[in-house]
Chain A
């Protein structure tokens, strides 16, 4: 399995990358970590005429808290999230997610920006970023703009960026006090895409859920938020019944396709289970547990 031939550019700066992108338009594809793109090219499912490799853009590699948010450079390798002390200490949902993206070797090369920009509902970060209410920063010929994550995923493998933009940064709001989050993923085997997974980020006021956002992985054609499930939580005092109701709501609102990972009924029901387990873990963490 060998990719078709292509022209290759390796810009040394973001501006150079943007100008190459503008110059080549739809013929060019951005090469980030390549862990999804290169296999697709090997099977000739992707046959780009031009690759713009942005791996030299070291400026886009950082994970740091800046003011009210955690800023993640788009070219940050997945493994850097696991290694980040900020992520480990304050972003449990992100940490949970980072350690279940593919396998440890893929995580050494794959990038956070690529995982999100690919807009694959099977990828893990979209659900997590939806639960965080993250913001995506895109840069194009007309400068930089921010896109709320709720507006970012527009279709299967489609995002809100224009062809001449490059994703540069992801911003995750710094969690307020009494906030907890968790990512629970059901896999056929370790490192696989999820059968279903749930990302939950919530804030407690005493025993009452003051705010909650839930993202789901691989149970819809487009990365989705489980808004009905969120509605079952917000304003309620946390209890087994409330958690079950949220799980059921998520099961009802998701839209999975039957495949080798299971039928529709199965995927809906385990989405219920994943949502419940993430909520339980998130609540425990919001209350100060690990």
Chain B
């Protein structure tokens, strides 16, 4: 018998049933019994027992013998020349081993600068000047956290303050140059366009109605409850660097570390242990990580660095910060025909975006949303300011939230301008189910969708028509009630290798499955859960494919020494990529299992059929071999000439992105006295294709909704004119509590992705993308009759109060 080479199986042979459009349903598909617990089961999470008993293992829980602690001296200025750094007093303190400065890093091999993921450069530690408030200036290494904290007070830095430039429009004038290290003395970084300009201009020339709006999508911060941190442990004898790190992408980080430091990649092990929330904030490489690793190299001892919350909020990557000018055109029938958008992207002091695409503005050109239109043109310019570099995606694909907010606001404005009901207007402008796969005017191919089904379901759930009647009655009495809709299209799962990479590394992801002789399995992945429940959902995918009970499958991620190479978890990419890899690896195993079963049953391979957890002779279910029996045989009784064992690895490069979608409806009541907005109800209908675990999907949606509420009403990073961060602690950067967060009401439709092997799409971020415009639209809907057209998020009581008073409304 010829030797089976698992790795040469072609993907197309494994991806059965792929590529056809599948009709929308609302029933979760369950094919396996509960004891197997494959797809569709509301399975309790396998990872929970350790967390529930305080036995998680986060980076700050790692304690190594002889471990030192690092603390960082940070700049009190947004822009200042550094005349000198005097660390002598700190160095004299008991327990202080070293103070690391930019000069030290330079001497160590030009490590004072590092590349960003966007091929820009970013200071690790400064030599000449600082370019943002709270920038890392130098680091103290000491024998305890407390001594390190004392020692940073004893480092004296002589600064010469320079003018800050906080407003990106001001920055474009180049009066203050942020990056004097660059050859070109300008703050303008890049210009990017998508869509057809001439065609779009023509559409606007022919338009019967054009609406315009300026909007600002403010700078925010993911603020996972665990901050960032590292324990770097360099072993001089082995020339080996072991790193525990809050990393959403440990393999990519290992490669970056190898490239930057010159250490050979096989001598670097990155372990991303339990992660206390990521949301994009643990994708970038921050200066603190690099300094910490250098500190361990220099001292030869383990060094721990854990950020304070204020450091995390003040210096780590922000999200958003987009200044948008949008125009939407409609023809004489009110049909949307075009979209024209100009955007300024405030990048801070470096373009350090955690953007896995080749496009500087990420997936922003998805901005035509759920609407079928002839033409669109998008321009974005990136600019430096004296603010922390970034950005990250804040629980979404890069720049999708900005795009969706803009198009949903514009569609709402257009509907109101035309005097049409906002729901009916959307229904008649949606891309229709028979148009999929749909080619968008900016070049995207939407894999699948049924927008009408989702919106109608949301309307039914909330009794939309009755709410409109109630609103009329309330308005007659002078009460302010608003109903807001958002029918968003997400784009996740980065991504097809032609357009997506990190520093040239393509955006595949991986799974490696090993089935042990007793029928238990180990499955390892290139992604890294930060709370998404991978240990459970991946096990369910493998259970679905191989019939092994999910409880018999140990899922492991995050250790670069053991897991297959992958690009990590963000942009809702784990299910679209590593989830697909799990399917493909399982199917490779299944192909071998079939040969073993044929051998055991003494029949031909073609005589066998798969039945949940076994191969059986067609039409004869009593002649069967379970996956466990086959696994045992793979080690004890496999056919002569066949390689022993039952395992496979798969690197999955998705053929396209996936396009989850949904419709949200929000009802608000406004307090005319204070300007407070009270969310009365919020219905969210999501479509993420086939559902692996409904319990986890619901949790992801709830969480995403609260992270949509947050920037819509509470969170914003605010700077004063000198570039000082005014919202640098959780006392002023307002994360919603259980009181602000409404009781979310969920519904679902299921429109499987035609190109994903199990029809799944990814879900963790859709609600973050979809919720803000629903809330903003509801507020504007409550105030439209007063003449209000738009309000920027976060929609705070003072903003609403001003709109009320400016339009003559008081209590």
Tell me the A residues contacting B by CB distance below 8 Å: 1-2, 4-5, 43-44, 186, 188-192, 195, 260-263, 266, 269-270, 273, 276-277
Contacts and interface: CB of A to CB of B under 8 A. Distances in A.
A245 to B, nearest CB: 15
Contacts, number: 61
B674 A270 contact: yes
24 contacts: A1-B309, A2-B149, A4-B153, A44-B153, A186-B676, A189-B714, A189-B734, A189-B737, A189-B739, A189-B740, A190-B737, A192-B734, A195-B797, A260-B732, A261-B798, A262-B796, A262-B798, A263-B798, A266-B802, A269-B805, A270-B674, A270-B801, A276-B811, A277-B673
Given A189-B714, A262-B801, 12 more contacts: A1-B149, A1-B310, A186-B797, A188-B734, A188-B797, A189-B736, A191-B737, A261-B798, A262-B796, A262-B797, A270-B797, A277-B673
B150 interface: yes
SS class of chain B's interface: helix, strand, loop or mixed?
Answer: loop
B669 to A, nearest CB: 16
Contacts of B308: 1
Which 10 A-B residue pairings sit nearest by Cβ, starting from the closest?
Answer: A273-B673, A2-B149, A262-B798, A190-B739, A266-B798, A1-B308, A189-B734, A270-B674, A2-B146, A189-B740
Nearest to B71: A2
A49 B805 CA distance: 51
Contacts of B676: 186
Nearest to A103: B737
A120 B732 CA distance: 17
Contacts of B736: 189
Contacts of B675: 266, 270
B727 A260 contact: yes
Nearest to B149: A2
A195 B799 CA distance: 14
SS class of chain A's interface: helix, strand, loop or mixed?
Answer: loop
Contacts of A260: 718, 726-727, 732
Given A260-B718, A263-B798, A273-B811, A186 B674 contact: yes
A273 B675 CA distance: 11
Contacts of A5: 150
B145 interface: yes
B714 A188 contact: yes
Nearest to B716: A260
A276 B150 CA distance: 50
A75 B811 CA distance: 41
Contacts of B805: 269
A153 to B, nearest CB: 23
Contacts of A4: 150, 153
B797 A2 contact: no
Contacts of A276: 673, 811
Residue from B727, B798, B811 with most neighbouring chain A CB atoms (10 Å): B798
B435 to A, nearest CB: 43
Contacts of B673: 270, 273, 276-277
Residue from A189, A190, A276 with most neighbouring chain B CB atoms (10 Å): A189
Interface in B774-808: 796-798, 801-802, 805
A277 B797 CA distance: 17
Contacts of B802: 266
B739 to A, nearest CB: 4
Nearest to A188: B734
Given A189-B734, A189-B739, A2 B801 contact: no
A195 B308 CA distance: 27
Nearest to A258: B798
Contacts of B801: 262, 266, 269-270
Interface in B727-783: 727, 731-732, 734, 736-737, 739-740
Contacts of A269: 801, 805
B740 A190 contact: yes
A46 to B, nearest CB: 14
A260 B794 CA distance: 12
Contact of A188 (B150, B309, B718, B796): B796
